[in-house]
Structure 1
Amino acid sequence: MGKDKGQYSFSTCWNIKRHQTGSGMIEEIRELGFRYVELNYNVTSELLSTIEPMIERGEIGVSSVHNTFPHVADPDYGTDSVLLGFDDEEKRQRSIELLLRSAEYANRYGAKAVVVHPGEVPFDYNIDQELKKIYSEQGPESAAYLKLWSEMLERRETLAGRYLDRIGDSLEEVCDRLEAKGLDVSIGIETRSRCYQMPTLREAKTVFDRLKGARVGLWYDFGHGMMMERMGLYDNARDMEAIKDHVVGIHIHETVGLSDHWCPYVHSGDMNYFDRFLPIIAASPVKVYELKAACTPEEIELSHDRLLGKLAAYGG
């Protein structure tokens, strides 16, 4: 049994593919010492049938749920979609309904937040995959990378405002309806893992400026932030200042090169870079580890110990 992790939560993305029953999945996370879980978007109604009794008995707490929850098989409403920014009004309304459904589940489980990937500037192919391939093979300074990056950036910057406005419209409607239903949860818009996806930290700030007082904030995913910084989209240390007071939750993981969901301070061997996130970790109301299946219980324990040591030294 791992040491008690206190207020820290752990995402089911770590072990969902290994389990046929929800209760088995949650039990394995409890073995690591976690008292709270984030139920991710692959959790089905079937898995919930054995998780809900555990929640009711107080065997596990739910910190957050990840939209779209429970699982929806349609990729239009999946994690890499235009979602809250759809041009098609019917699809946009469906996205709003699904996010509200996630919030109702979160509220029922006593969770504090719903994590949502709000949208993207659509491309006709996965330009991010192509860029990451060039990055790995030729490097971010190569002519091929810089050329494709500037093409991506030009389209992203041209269209971002339009999609951001629509995402803002959708979030405004969601927050109004959350309030009307008396749901005590926040919506966290997540920093993303593909360069054409939204929001950047600065884009997030424009949403918060527009929706002052609404139950919406940033879900800061550090691994994704590191990836986007390496690719050239934004600078975490510089842009963090603008959003630090708007963080409603975090995904704790680290990126090795452009591969994410590794244990901080363990898999990268870098004992310093991740320190820039310590103030955000200390202040965040919801703190969730989002690790890949390859991370072992021993590595998770070591990473958590190192993080706590860093936080103690920082004074958080």
Structure 2
Amino acid sequence: MKESLLHDKGEYSFSTCWNIRRQPGGRAMIEEIAELGFRRVELNYNVTTEMLEEIEPMIERGEIGISSVHNTFPHTPDPDYGTDSVLLGFEDEARRRKAVELLVRSAEYAHRYGAEAVVVHPGEVPIAHADVKHLEKLYHEEGRESDVYRKAWASFIERRESEADSYVKRIISSLDEVGNLAASKGLNVRFGIETRSRPNQMPTLAEAKTIIDALKGAPVGIWYDTGHAIMMDRLGLYDSVGEMEGLMDHIVGVHIHETIGLSDHWCPYVHSGDPNFYDAYLPMIERAGVKVYELKAACEPEQIHESHRLLLEKLAATKQTG
């Protein structure tokens, strides 16, 4: 029996971020993921049109299923429309319109591949990356409860909150346009706005609720990235579990990974060595329609198998006691 059959991961999907730098060829990249036992993949934002020339025939032949694509898709080299950008919140109308067009293009690819969702980085408050790195440095060296961290964090949050509303409003308008364009094209996909890995990025959970509530009836919900949410909780941006009230019914999908300190994309339970911490995120995983492991290249196959085994055991136990 093939190794992939021995380790069949069922409904769970796996992001190409794990091996895209190791496997520059599209077919080899997908085959390596399939060997882990995943029948479905998430095509991330670094997948190029050249890779798709090898991947698309595999989709058409049913060799692999696509759960989701990650905007901006396929890869767009322009940093204005990369993963760390103002994107749907651009004040400049031409750039904002281009971001809308690119998201609709991602949705067209998702629909063509039979994917259920598009993962969306909606935008950010444009605060210098060096300022964010300074906060992370203080967190590591002084601790979150230190006076120096609290002072720096208070200054950061004051700036973020003073600028956030205008970006949230433009993101809402952009997603409204995207939803209408997708409907006019008959695209049967949902858009999940992702919890992010830097505190200046959007959305917070409160911002996600504002955006989703403003777009009632639109195919827009939250993409709950567990590892990123843990990081933002540790820095103090929001309560990653308590603030999910009102959002649980709007979870489009999840990225499954754990953090060690502020280092993310590790295998849950296995790399942290903590048998219980990640349990708080099981309800989000259970609720999500699309469940995607988003792991870094350092995660080895046996660690991935063990992490998945533990996750399934935990979820099964939760159902029995629920």
Query: C-alpha root-mean-square deviation of aligned residues, in Å?
Result: 0.9
Q: Deviations over 1:122-146 (max 9, x none)?
A: 1144322111111112211222221
Equivalent residue, structure 2, for 1:200: 204
Aligned-pair CA distance for 1:207: 0.8
The answer as to whether partners of 1:218 and 1:247 remain within 8 angstroms in 2 is: yes
* Distance in 1, Cα, partners of 2:46 & 2:194: 17
Q: Name the structure 2 match of 1:52.
A: 56
Q: CA deviation at 1:151?
A: 1.1
- Give, in angstroms, the shift of residue 20 of structure 1: 2.3
**Residue of structure 1 aligned with 2:284, choices 280, 284, 288:** 280
Aligned-partner Cα distance in 2 for 1:88–1:33: 45
1:122 aligns with 126
1:40: which partner in 2?
44
Q: Which residue of 1 aligns with 2:219?
A: 215
Distance 2:122 2:204 in 1: 11
**Other-structure match for 1:147:** 151
The Cα offsets for residues 40-63 of structure 1, whole Å up to 9 and x where unpaired, read as: 000000111100000000000000
**Partner of 1:183 in structure 2?**
187
TM-score (ref. length: structure 1): 0.98
Q: TM-score, normalised by structure 2?
A: 0.97
Aligned partners of 1:202 and 1:242 also within 8 Å: no
Q: Distance in 2 between matches of 1:50 and 1:181?
A: 26
Alpha carbons of structure 1 residues 159 and 304: separation in structure 2 relative to 1, 3 Å = same
Aligned to 1:238: 242
Match of 1:13 among 10, 13, 17: 17
Cα distance in 2 between the residues matched to 1:57 and 1:110: 13
Amino acid at match of 1:232: G
* Cα distance in 1 between the residues matched to 2:131 and 2:246: 28
Q: Look up the match of 1:82.
A: 86
User: 1-side partners of 2:190 and 2:232: how far apart?
Assistant: 25
The alignment covers a number of residue pairs equal to 316
CA contact (8 A) 1:84 1:166 kept: yes
> Gapped runs of 5+ residues in structure 2?
none
Partners of 2:187 and 2:110 lie apart in 1 by 9
Runs of 4+ in 1 over 4 A off after TM superposition: none
The whole-number CA distance in structure 2 between the counterparts of 1:237 and 1:54 is 38
The equivalent of 1:134 in structure 2 is 138
**Quick check: 1:163 aligned with 2:147?**
no
Q: Secondary structure at the match of 2:210?
A: helix
